[in-house]
């Protein structure tokens, strides 16, 4: 007598299809990861012997064909820090207004359309905007401030969209429970909504850091210098930057040792990985503290 719970032909087909789709998605994932592994592996091999302590702590010398990348490294951290300070509070505030206060009308739909369009503007257009707005109109000159504000405007849509989606992911019942206890809308946002959406906000910060570190055109026109023999002392100084330095030694400087551009490129990737790893670890920690 056969069991009523015995495997049927339909179960066998479903299990086979599930294994096939699992294999297919695994291959797709491997295909996406493989180029990254190849790129990093190539940079490591080509930059062999370049990444020394002196490479990270010394200034470029001999027409930037020798020495290190210390001024460019410090300048990149300046640009990223100022861009984050300028864009994250503004982006979070805009997302809070659009998610928690604004009504669904033609104005908010127009604002959302503007945010989407801003995200698709080429970086060279942002560079020209930065020259006109921050370098000339606000008279910041070619400086860290002008370059960072340009990149802040360029990455603002990423922060707004990720923050808004994170705010909307917080259950509405959390807000209603607070309101029923007599809390104001702002108290609810500050005490309940924002703490439960911080991990999503950090996602936008991670994406902004990745783009800010690697951009060249906006900083080339607004604040980055070809070569500077000193470190910046304020946001109104010019600075070297890793992305521009890589472009310069790869295309503009003759007789550069073969491993030098690869070493700079590998360092640029390592900076992004370190900054993102710290943000991801903090995001994971905060996500683990959620109660829902």
Domain 53-288: top CATH class = mainly alpha
Helix (H) or strand (E) holding 233: none
* Token pair belonging to 264: 């700079």
Dihedral of CA atoms 253, 255, 258, 260 in degrees, nearest 10, equals: -50
pLDDT value of position 3 = 55
pLDDT value of position 66 = 87
Question: What is the C-alpha separation between 40 and 263, in angstroms, rounded?
Answer: 11
Pick the closest to residue 71 from 277, 284, 252, 244 (CA basis).
244
Residuewise pLDDT in 10s, the chain (292 residues): 455 566 777 788 888 889 999 999 999 998 989 988 999 999 999 988 888 898 999 999 888 888 889 999 999 999 999 999 999 999 999 999 999 998 888 888 898 888 888 888 889 999 999 999 999 999 999 999 999 999 999 999 999 999 999 998 888 888 888 888 888 889 999 988 988 888 888 888 888 888 888 888 899 999 988 888 788 989 999 999 999 999 999 888 888 888 999 999 999 998 888 888 888 888 777 777 666 6
pLDDT value of position 96 = 93
Question: What is the C-alpha separation between 41 and 148, in angstroms, rounded?
Answer: 31
**Ranges of each domain in the chain:** 8-46, 53-288
pLDDT value of position 103 = 86
What's the first-to-final CA gap in the chain, in angstroms?
48
Supply the pTM of this predicted model.
Answer: 0.86
Which residue(s) pair with 60 in the sheet?
67
Dihedral of CA atoms 118, 119, 125, 126 in degrees, nearest 10, equals: 90
pLDDT value of position 41 = 92
pLDDT value of position 5 = 61
């Amino acid at each position: 007598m056969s069991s009523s719970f015995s495997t049927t032909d339909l179960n066998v087909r479903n299990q086979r299809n599930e294994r096939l789709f699992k294999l297919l998605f695994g291959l797709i994932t491997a295909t996406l990861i493989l180029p990254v592994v190849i790129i990093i592996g190539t940079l490591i091999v080509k930059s062999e012997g370049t990444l020394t302590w002196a490479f990270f702590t010394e200034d470029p010398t001999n027409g930037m064909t020798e020495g290190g990348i210390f001024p460019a490294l410090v300048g990149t951290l300046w640009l990223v820090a100022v861009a984050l300070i300028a864009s994250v509070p503004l982006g979070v505030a805009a997302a809070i207004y659009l998610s928690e206060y604004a009504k669904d009308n033609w104005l908010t739909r127009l604002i959302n359309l503007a945010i989407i369009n801003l995200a698709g503007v080429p970086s060279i257009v942002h560079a020209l905007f930065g020259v006109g707005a921050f370098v000339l109109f606000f008279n910041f000159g070619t400086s860290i401030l002008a370059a960072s504000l340009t990149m802040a405007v360029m990455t603002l849509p990423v922060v707004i969209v990720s923050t808004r989606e994170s705010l909307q992911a917080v259950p509405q019942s959390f807000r209603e429970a607070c309101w029923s206890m007599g809390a104001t809308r702002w108290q609810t946002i500050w005490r309940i909504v924002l703490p439960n959406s911080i991990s999503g906000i950090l996602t936008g910060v991670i994406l902004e850091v990745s783009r800010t570190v690697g951009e060249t055109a906006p900083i080339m026109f607004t604040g980055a210098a070809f070569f500077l023999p000193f470190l910046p002392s304020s946001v109104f100084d010019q600075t070297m930057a890793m992305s521009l330095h890589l472009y310069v030694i790869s295309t503009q400087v003759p007789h550069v040792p073969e491993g030098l551009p690869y070493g700079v490129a590998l360092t640029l990737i390592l900076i992004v990985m370190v900054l993102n790893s710290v943000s991801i670890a903090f995001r994971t920690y905060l996500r683990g503290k959620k109660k829902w």
